[in-house]
Structures are given as C-alpha cells and as structure tokens.
Amino acid sequence: MSKDMQAVFAGFGGQGTLFSGKVVAYAGLIEGREVSWFPSYGPEMRGGTANCSVTVSDSLIGSPLVTEPDAVIAMNQPSFDKFLPMVKKGGIVVADTSMVADLAQREGVRVIGIPATKIAEEAGLKGLANIVLLGRLFAEEPFCSPESLDAALVKCIPPKKAAMLDKNRVAVKLGMES
C-alpha cells in the first residue's frame, strides 16, 4: 500500500507542471485512493507561473489546498524559493538544476537536484523535464505502484499524442536512474 502524499508541482507555464501533477492524481485514482488535483496559474499561462497541489490519500481529503507539502517538484528558481520553506520536516524537494541555480538546503528536508532539462534534451526528449523529475520523485518516494504510474501516463496522454507515450516512459526511467 502506498503512503499518503501531499505534493506541489511548480514552474513556469508550458513546462508541464500541471500535467505531471495530473499523472500523480490519476495514479492515485487507478489505485482506488482519494485524490485532489488543484491547479493554480498566473493570467499569462505559458511563461507565467504555474503550479498544482496534489493530494493522494487513503482517507477523505478535507481541502484541495496543500500548504505543507510532503513533496515538491520545482522546475525553476522562483518556484524552488517559494515552496522550499513550506515543505514538512521529513519531506523532499526535487529540483531541475538546469533551471534552479541556487539549490539552498533546509534542515529536515531532502533537497535533490538533477539537471532534468539537460537530461531530457540530451535523450531527444525536449519538453519532458517534468517527467524526468517525476521519475526521480517516484524513485525517492514511491507514491504508487510502477504499474499504476504507467497506467496513469496512458490515461493522461491524449490519443492524438499517443506517440509521446514511449517518450514519457523513457523520461520516467531516466529520472529514476539519475
């Protein structure tokens, strides 16, 4: 049984933060768990700030807001700086060091940096840094079974982008191994 998780996925609009949060939410649904997915973004969308709060739990969820996340995926410096202070003691932050130059540490919080944008681009997976980071989070804190994660990718990738499924699978694997 997977443990409960409250997470924030944050970055600029267009980086796929809302999509990666949706994958986690669907993985929870596939496992029959309680789920909330709450997006938040600036008025300019692409290029503006975007984040989503995701809760996956075996208990009823009282609020979709995540104010003390167990996990944060930060795809840029402003998101890292904003959410690091909110992470619960014992929590984790996975950051894209291609976009987060100042990887500050915080006592009681594991801060893991991987160059996700660089990893994705070098593998021919431009635009999948979000899924590389998701793979690393999954490796550190398995929030579902591997089968549920894969089924969630299948569910979240629309039929017109079916060719992206295998690329997303590779991106998850690269993140898990980095």
Cβ burial of 151 (10 Å; 0-12, 13-18, 19+) is middle
Q: Where are the domains of the chain?
A: 5-177
- If you average pLDDT over residues 7-34, what whole number do you get? 96
At residue 96, what are phi and psi to the nearest 5 degrees?
-85, 105
- If you average pLDDT over residues 67-88, what whole number do you get? 97
Rounded CA-CA distance 115/45 in Å is 24
- If you average pLDDT over residues 10-20, what whole number do you get? 94
pTM for the structure as a whole: 0.95
According to CATH, the topology of domain 5-177 is: Pyruvate-ferredoxin Oxidoreductase; domain 3 (3.40.920)
Number of neighbouring beta carbons within 10 Å of residue 27: 29
Number of neighbouring beta carbons within 10 Å of residue 44: 11
Instruction: Note the pLDDT of residue 49.
Output: 79
Residue 127: pLDDT band (50, 70, 90) is very high
Percent of the chain past pLDDT 90, that is, above it, reads: 92
Q: What is the mean pLDDT of the chain?
A: 94
